């Protein structure tokens, strides 16, 4: 995992070789103009920016020769207002596209402190690439090591450290999600957690298949029983002294999802390594919270299983029993995420937290309803407002979806307390998933459900600070929730 050293300077450094100097381009009176900056752009004054190939389109970058072997990177600032979200995406575009330079100087003129911090966050988040198991000959390594932001904002080292901690947690989440499923399975995820939490004072508890059976985790067991690689449940606890609030995170961790005996079509199976994003996000959120030392108790429940078809797999028509004692009629084995989450939610409820948030790539219906950039948000009114406030602070996109009462009856079963789907009815699929999960959280406990099926994986081209592949979405929102609960606004 590569990281950037980011420093703040009140003046633009002198031009030097192998350094890119980023200056902004805006359209004013139908003509391209450079924004005011401290950098010496006099060598560009005699040129028509449009003839140089520059553009005001947001995130566009045009490289032009600068003095002493340096390069100007003319960055399109777009027509949107200059807010924190715009600056995060511009920062990501800079670090993604200027990796071939050893140093980058960013001079976009006067920025307030909030916008400067957002730009720095975007620089960190955008500086990511997953090369997986490519041979060295196929990898073009990034040369970029240092970024200097020209700004008069007074930014402390602790503020810079916080942004670095957050971005590192996002990067690790992306790495876990991008890992091939022959390497990432329940037991290997457990090892990653045990290694990645060393020295943080976190308590780890792991249930193997025997312990899951003994303690009544029937949902996780049923989903994982068709695989030769058994399921696991992991509980991670962070309990700092003086914490007054308790946040519980429950993450769906299906390390690969074939659909089980309700087998997915071949093309729909590609990419199902991303189905453990909720667990990876919950895990790295608690790591970031611990590294930041936030005074709030947090527990993360990682519900890990591989959903495979075999002679030992659960069948449609099976009835299973969840940790809280409720029975579930399984009508579709491809609606497995809600089964493992039901166990995780039941266990989290037993600890009586102030707020439970479950995170899951739960339904394809979420993508149909909201596209690829918004997460669906459902749950109790107070929890909804808490998550919406945190998401706005983090600059992440969530959309409050209803849980219409009339849909609940679609999950009625003749042989169990509830069915996991309504066969033959595709209406409101994301909402049906939310209704199922709500059955495992009592009304007196604040609860929110985040369906991140759309934004968890970017199958298209990178944009802003979002790479292709696993995105690490919602992690920063979860940390912002913890900050709010701890009183650190």
Strands 232-238 and 61-65: unpaired
In three-state secondary structure terms, 65 is: strand
For 254, the token pair is: 């299906």
d(CA 279, CA 331) in angstroms, rounded, equals 24
Q: Which of 96, 323, 338, 438 is catalytic?
A: 338
Residues in the chain: 489
CB-facing half-sphere around the CA of 116: CA atoms within 13 A? 23
Q: What are phi and psi of 424, to 5 degrees?
A: 85, 0
For 319, the token pair is: 């009835």
In three-state secondary structure terms, 306 is: strand
d(CA 86, CA 95) in angstroms, rounded, equals 15
For residue 321, indicate whether it is catalytic.
no
Q: Which of 99, 264, 321, 408 is catalytic?
A: 264
Name the nearest CA neighbour of 99 among 139, 50, 155, 132: 139
Three-state SS string over 351-416 comes to CCCCEEEEEECCCHHHHHHHCCCCEEEEECHHHHHHHHHHHHHHCCCEEECCCCHHHHHHHCCCCC
Tell me how many degrees the CA angle 345-350-353 measures, rounded to the nearest 5. 80
For residue 338, indicate whether it is catalytic.
yes
Residue 254, strand partner residues = 305
CB-facing half-sphere around the CA of 390: CA atoms within 13 A? 26
> Which residues are known to be catalytic?
264, 338
């Amino acid at each position: 995992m590569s990281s950037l050293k980011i420093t703040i300077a009140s003046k633009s450094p002198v031009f030097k070789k192998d350094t890119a100097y980023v200056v902004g381009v805006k359209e004013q009176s139908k003509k391209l103009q450079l924004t005011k900056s401290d950098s010496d752009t006099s060598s560009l004054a005699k040129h028509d920016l449009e003839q140089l190939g520059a553009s005001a389109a947001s995130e566009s970058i045009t490289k032009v020769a600068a003095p002493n072997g340096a390069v100007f990177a003319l960055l399109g600032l777009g027509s949107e207002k200059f807010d924190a979200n715009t600056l995060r995406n511009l920062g990501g575009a800079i670090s993604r596209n200027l990796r071939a330079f050893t140093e980058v100087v960013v001079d976009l003129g006067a920025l307030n402190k909030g916008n400067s911090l957002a730009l720095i966050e975007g620089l960190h988040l955008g500086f990511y690439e997953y090369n997986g198991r490519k041979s060295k000959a196929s990898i073009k390594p990034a040369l970029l090591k240092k970024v200097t932001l020209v700004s008069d904002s007074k930014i402390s080292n602790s503020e810079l450290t916080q942004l670095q901690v957050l971005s590192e947690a996002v990067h690790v989440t992306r790495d876990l999600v991008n890992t091939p499923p022959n390497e990432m399975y329940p037991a290997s995820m457990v090892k990653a957690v045990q290694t990645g939490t060393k020295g943080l004072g976190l308590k780890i508890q792991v249930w193997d298949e025997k312990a899951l059976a003994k303690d009544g985790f029937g949902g996780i067991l049923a989903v994982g029983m068709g695989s030769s690689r058994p399921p696991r449940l992991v509980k991670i606890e962070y309990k700092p002294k003086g914490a007054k609030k308790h946040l519980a995170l429950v993450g769906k961790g299906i390390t690969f999802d074939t659909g089980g005996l309700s087998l997915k079509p071949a093309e729909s199976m590609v990419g199902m390594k991303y189905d453990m994003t909720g667990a990876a996000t919950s895990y790295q959120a608690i790591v970031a919270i611990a590294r930041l030392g936030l005074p709030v108790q947090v527990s993360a429940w990682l519900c890990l299983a591989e959903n495979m078809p075999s002679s030992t797999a659960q069948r449609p028509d099976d009835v299973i029993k969840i940790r809280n004692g409720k029975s579930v009629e399984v009508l579709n084995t491809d609606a497995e995420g809600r089964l493992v989450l039901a166990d995780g939610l039941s266990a989290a409820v037993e600890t009586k937290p102030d707020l439970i948030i479950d995170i899951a790539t739960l339904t394809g219906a979420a993508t149909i309803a909201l596209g690829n950039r918004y997460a669906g948000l459902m749950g109790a009114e107070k929890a909804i407002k808490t998550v919406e406030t945190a998401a706005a602070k983090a600059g992440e996109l969530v959309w409050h979806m209803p849980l219409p009462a009339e849909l609940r009856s679609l999950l009625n079963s003749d042989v169990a307390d509830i069915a996991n789907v309504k066969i033959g009815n595709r209406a409101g699929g994301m909402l049906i998933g939310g209704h199922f999960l709500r059955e495992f959280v009592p009304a007196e406990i604040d609860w929110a459900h985040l369906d991140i099926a759309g934004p968890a994986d970017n199958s298209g081209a990178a944009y802003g600070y979002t790479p292709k592949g696993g995105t690490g979405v919602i992690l920063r929102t979860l940390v912002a929730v913890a900050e709010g609960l701890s009183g650190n606004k």
